[in-house]
Every structure is written in C-alpha cells, then in structure tokens.
Amino acid sequence: MDATASDEEDLRRCFEHCWSPVVRYLIRRGAHACAEDLAAETFAIAWSKWHDVPSPPLPWLLKTAGFCWANERRRVQRAGVLARELRPVTPQDPAFDGYAERQEANAVLAAVAALGEVEREALILTAWDGLSVKDAAEVMECSVSALKVRVHRARKKVRRAAGGADVVETAPEGDPLLSGPGDR
C-alpha cells in the first residue's frame, strides 16, 4: 500500500477517536491483561488495509478487535493444552520401565516446555510430528532457513537443559536438518 500524507492523517484521527473505544470493547470482552496489545494489533491491521476500512471505522475496528481477541484466546488455549501434554513422566507411566529413562524424559519434557512458543512449535512439528523442514516452514509461515535456525536453537537449548539428552533419535526421511550430530 502506498501511504499518502492524507492516509496517515486519516489514520491518526481514527486512532485518536477510536483507540479508547476499542480498548474498552476488548476489556468488556475479557481481554483485561492484553487489551492494549490487541488494540495495537487491530490498528496495525487497519493500517495495512486502510483503503478497505469503511467509514465510519469504529464498527470495523471492533469486529477486527474481536477477531484478534479470539485468536489470542485460541493461542492461550493451545499453550495450555501443550503444557498439559508435556507434563513430566511419572513412575506409573507404563511407557518407561527404568528410572534413568524417566529422569531423562522428564528433563527433555521440562526443557521443551520451557522453550519459547516459536522454537517449541518448530521442534514439535519436525521432531515429534515428523514433518519435513519444508512442510513445517509452510505451517509456521516462515522460510526453510528460518525454520532450520529455530529447530537448531530449540534442540541446542533442550540438549543443554536436559543434560545432553536429545529430542530426536531419527530424522524424517530425507530431512538432513534433523539427522546426525552437530546440528548443521
């Protein structure tokens, strides 16, 4: 979009008049802690689509803010589900017979759970879900190079936090990123 001075001035006026109503709307919907962040996201979307925003803009902004809030709730819910799924393994879990294996599994799971959301997702998609680097990059909407860096960093952090334990023993077919020592 080619922004003109007029567009910038129009958005500035829109921001001045609509910021507070958008924040109040989000707070009423339950986004207490992140209302301002979601409002900022809403206005960033508005700016990127400024020529498509109808007049008056407030109804469109509120609808967009509602979508941003729904996305945030889904993200938080997914994070909560993942945290529950990545719970430490207990001695009662039949998948692990020995103490050493349980300790290593607990260390790996705790290290993976402690990763940032982006690195954790990259690692889980490739190492645990078995997606190729190309497919995982597509899912995460990033380049293959960026995905490789994310996986490399995630594995390095998990290995360090888990005392040398590795998250992946075998790589998906034809995926050199996840095979062999050294994490290219």
Predicted confidence at residue 177, as pLDDT, reads: 41
Contact 154, 123 (CB under 8 A): yes
Contact 110, 88 (CB under 8 A): yes
* pLDDT digit string, tens, across residues 71-118: 998 888 877 766 666 665 565 665 555 656 666 777 778 888 888 888
Buried residues in 146-178 as b, exposed as e (16+ CB within 10 A): ebbebbbbbbebbbebbeeeebbeebbeebebb
Distance in angstroms (rounded) separating the CA atoms of residues 25 and 134: 40
Contact 85, 120 (CB under 8 A): no
Predicted confidence at residue 127, as pLDDT, reads: 81
* pLDDT digit string, tens, across residues 17-73: 899 989 988 998 888 889 999 999 999 999 999 889 888 888 889 899 999 999 998
Q: Which residues of the chain are in CATH 1.10.10.10 domains?
A: 92-178
Name the residue with tokens 């609509």: 18
Contact 40, 8 (CB under 8 A): no
What is the CATH T-level fold of the domain 5-83, as seen in this structure? Rna Polymerase Sigma Factor; Chain: A (1.10.1740)
Sign of CA dihedral 97, 101, 103, 107: negative
CATH code 3.40.50.300 for 92-178:
no
| pLDDT higher than threshold 70 for residue 178 | no
What's the predicted TM-score (pTM) here? 0.45
Contact 172, 131 (CB under 8 A): yes
Which DSSP category does 88 fall into? Answer: P
Q: Which residues of the chain are in CATH 1.10.1740 domains?
A: 5-83
| pLDDT higher than threshold 70 for residue 181 | no
